[in-house]
Chain A
């Protein structure tokens, strides 16, 4: 990825998340508190620092973004209100948007349909994953 492109992506992530990584004072409380810690290759404090440095590509290609439970423990306990979970969510969104491909076609639906599934979930799945 060119530096320019990485930078644009970084700006995009910061815009979506409304997080200022410069507020981080590197105490590590987010990673200390993270229940999904063992599942992740990159941990909440690394997300903050890597986005700050512009190393977004590694994050996009890693499965860690899908391991975040969005439990918001890091947001609650961060002493500087950096909100790492929002940042991870933004990276996740960028990843989905970046690919822009059609991940969910209508003919896949019957196989996945669960009678318990609310209608709303089907609609949002299309919104999120279909082109």
Chain B
């Protein structure tokens, strides 16, 4: 099974999580979580973006298509965007996308937008722990995965 490629045991389901993190807040928050040695599951893989508004909804869809089990987008707190207003765009776009995904039968727990500032290492780790356990409980994403993408 492909989803198990990041774990030793084949029995335990380990989700694949893609996290888009804004360079100015959440990516630095993730670094801070590391500096403080706060654990969160290795299933989370972070992609650095300059701002949460750089995340095209297509990236989220593509992640699901390629077999991701959950996608989380982290940006600056409202009002604190490094580029003034990028996180508002992200919030609006993702609200639309998530409601469409919900309509298509993708559980709401698989997608999330979270605000994590550069100083909130603990919040980053908590968020990731919570998100991974939510997605693990939901199980494998079968609905959107394109089986042709499996090798």
A and B touch in the complex (CB under 8 A): no
